[in-house]
A and B are shown apart, each in its own frame.
Chain A
Amino acid sequence: MQAFAAKYKRRLLIFLMVFGPGVIAAVADNDAAGVATYSLIASKFGYAMLFILLIVTVLLAVTQEMGARLAVVTGKGLADLIREHYGVKISAMIFLMLFIANMGSIIANFAGLTAAISLFGLPKAPFLLLAVLFMTIFVYKGSYRTNQNIFLGSAFFYIAYIAAAFLAKPQWETAVYNLVLPVGITFSREFIFSAIALLGTTITPWGQFFIQSFIVDKKLTTDKLKYEQAEVYFGAFLTDLLSFFMIVAIAGTLFIHSIPINGAAEAALAITPFAGQFASLLFSFGLINAGFMGAVVISLTTAYAFSEFFGHQGSLDSPISKSRSFYLLFLIQIIIACLVVLSPHISLFRIVLYTQGLNGVLLPVIIFFLLRFANSKNLMGSYTNNRFYNYFATISCVVITLASIFVIMGGILGKI
């Protein structure tokens, strides 16, 4: 019995050691843009979107697991693999697209941050600069471990949304009913686009790059693979559990009383009459937290991808003098985002729209690479996708690709 306990204790310790990248990569998908999307969708369709959330969770788990497995087995980031197998031309083009798309996402996160700061009645310029300063200090001064722990702390603060959901007193039975059964689904164009937006905010090109680079930077070995896979699945579950509470909180208040909103900050304000001042405060705080985490994680992703594509040293554990381009690129992105958000003449709505389109173009390409690499015997040896898993992964990828094509077509036809 004691031996049994000791065995589990050891396993738990390893799990805690491995714990981090999977949860961070997944929870970061609920960035400020994600929170905005959930708020909008929930205020429009209420609990009906919860069934889609269930599907998205599975897709997220599958794609992130492949990325994690690639990272642990090959020790290389997604960008490393693309450069080594598809050459410099494709690498440079993908990097350019990723850079622009990520820039858009970082701007969206800064916009969320700004909106939340204004909700607290604080002046936005000094507080945004303060945020930039904090981000820079964390990344420049902190090691991998410090950053991981800060991200995990940030992920923990998402608990604010769970509290807000309980304060909103939603119809829990309806919520759970809608989660497991597709009762509320309609096939209107609006519903389909909203469902795709939900997918697009959760499964992102940067998310795929990030999880792989972040695990590589943690230097996990293949004997930890099982634990890492478990962590990734847990991360996907946790992320969408948080999304569930967000949707439920909005559905139980704004949807029931059919109050239209345009953004996350507006939602935070609008729930006050129904859920109380405290819930609104929690929502605003959640948005600041989400914007902060999203901005840092996404600009780190670009920095990681650049170092991998072009072979420079890029690690949170290496000093600035050795990873100059990595740190510089991180800083440039958050400074640009901060300036864009502070400048009054730029349409944030447009930026977000184009970013979604670009991510839609990029995602199927990234998923294609992911499947190719995860099935390559040369790279993965005995760790390739097994047959059943491969069917499942392929179907998931087809669904994601179809959704992306829908977004692009919608963009072209101007119907978003």
Chain B
Amino acid sequence: MIYFSEIKNKRVYTEDGLLIGTLDDAVFTLTETPQIVKIVVKPLKQISQEALYIPHQYLLRMSPTVAVSKNYETTILAENELFVFKNLVDKQIIDMSGQKVVRVNDVVIQQKNGNFFFIGGVDIGLVGILRRFGADKIIEKVSAFFGKGLTSTIIPWSNIQPLELTRGKVVLNIKQEKLQKLHPADLADYLEATNVRNIVKIIDLLDKEFAAKVIAELNLNYQISLLKKLAFEKTVKILSLIDPDEAVDILTQFSSKRREGVLKSLPRDRRSEIEHLLKLEDTVVGQYLTTEVLTVKSSDTAAKVIEVIRKETRDMSFLPYVYVVNGQNQLHGVLSLHDLLLQTVETPIYKFMIQNVIVIHLHTSLYSVFRKLIKYKLAALPVVDVNKKIIGMITMDDIGENFLSKI
């Protein structure tokens, strides 16, 4: 995730290193998931006075440097588009009842599904103000030294009424007392939860077979929270349509009562297939589980994590990933050692960890574990329990051995 103040006024280069100008603003669409569709570049003085609007298709990256492809084209502002800086930053936030809440100190931008950028929320905390002064890092360090963590406070985008923005107002859709203020590391979780709500809305409209296809593509966590929210008949229908393997993954997460209920309602041949697979799910994963995993906190800096690796992992046989957990040991993110080395030392982990973690459970079949490892090209998968708490991990080489012996 990126804070807008971190990229404001940064130099914008083409991929072959030609300086175009400085980043002045960004343009987003007024939707429930506001996407950054254009960046506004203030060109070098000697070239032009007019701001350049470059569509996101040409945007290569926003952080740590801003780059666009060399054959970029420019465009103009379209309808239903607003500016991040001009329309959001420093503006007054008022709640539903017209109470003033606070001002927008910064805007949080999240990178998702590759190279797409979305507005995640607005930063309303003191750290947001300090960041605009460029003093956030120092103050964070000082506060950490005194043992008091100082982090951003964020209002998620789903709490803001998009329509009011066009009238120049930042209005919340709830009362101030009910406002959820989030820590940046929790933002992704929150967004997923709100997205599930959106997906449920969409799925209800979709043709069932198509819905099944969509659901099969989702992350397991998503699938479970989604199917818990859908009506019983719809759940049965979807489970009978998706890959039995996936269905088993989901069913093992249901309560035994609901699982029995769903199984009874499934068509007979589908039911026997799934029941067979369910029998195989006898904690087979457990035999291959290694509890030798490294977990860190999302607010730790890259430097701290590197230091932990140096000190505490001497005896570990294999360290493919570092897992990020919160205070309750719930898995929040993951990072590879490569990701870690690319960062500057003082960057906190939550800024670059991958938040959409592919996980497995103790009941996941070995076949499905293997498939996931191949599909996502991973060296290991974390194993979590029903509460998302990390138990251990399964590595590629352990599973591979099992399959080798069967050939």
Interface residues of A (CB under 8 A from B): 80, 83-84, 87-89, 92, 307, 309-314, 318, 322
Contacts and interface: CB of A to CB of B under 8 A. Distances in A.
A310 B99 contact: no
A313 B133 CA distance: 24
Contacts of A318: 99
Interface string B90-115: 11110000011111110000000000
Contacts of A80: 92
A83 B90 contact: yes
Contacts of B103: 83, 88, 309-311
Given A80-B92, A311-B92, A311-B93, A87 B132 contact: yes
B129 interface: yes
Given A89-B132, A92-B133, A84 B100 contact: no
Contacts of B93: 311
Query: Which of B89, B91, B102, B104 is packed against the most chain A CB atoms within 10 Å?
Result: B102
14 contacts: A80-B92, A83-B103, A84-B90, A84-B91, A84-B92, A88-B105, A88-B129, A310-B102, A310-B103, A311-B102, A311-B104, A312-B101, A313-B101, A314-B100
B87 to A, nearest CB: 11
Contact of A89 (B92, B100, B102, B133): B133
A87 B106 CA distance: 11
Nearest to A321: B177
A71 to B, nearest CB: 16
Contacts of B89: 87
Given A80-B92, A88-B105, A313 B129 contact: no
Contacts of B105: 88
5 shortest interchain CB distances as A-B pairs:
A311-B103, A313-B100, A311-B102, A88-B132, A311-B92
A92 B100 contact: no
Contacts of A311: 92-93, 100-104
A21 to B, nearest CB: 20
Contacts of B101: 311-313
A83 B89 CA distance: 10
Contacts of B129: 88, 92
Nearest to A307: B100
Given A88-B90, A310-B103, 16 more contacts: A80-B92, A84-B90, A84-B91, A87-B132, A88-B129, A88-B132, A89-B132, A92-B129, A92-B133, A307-B100, A311-B100, A311-B101, A311-B103, A312-B102, A313-B100, A313-B101
Nearest to A322: B99
A89 B129 CA distance: 8
B86 to A, nearest CB: 10
A312 B93 CA distance: 9
Nearest to A318: B99
B193 to A, nearest CB: 27
Contacts of A89: 132-133
A294 B89 CA distance: 35
A93 to B, nearest CB: 10
Interface in B34-53: none
Contacts of B92: 80, 84, 311
Query: Which of B102, B103, B104 is packed against the most chain A CB atoms within 10 Å?
Result: B103
B171 to A, nearest CB: 13
A88 B349 CA distance: 27
Contacts of B91: 84
Nearest to A83: B90
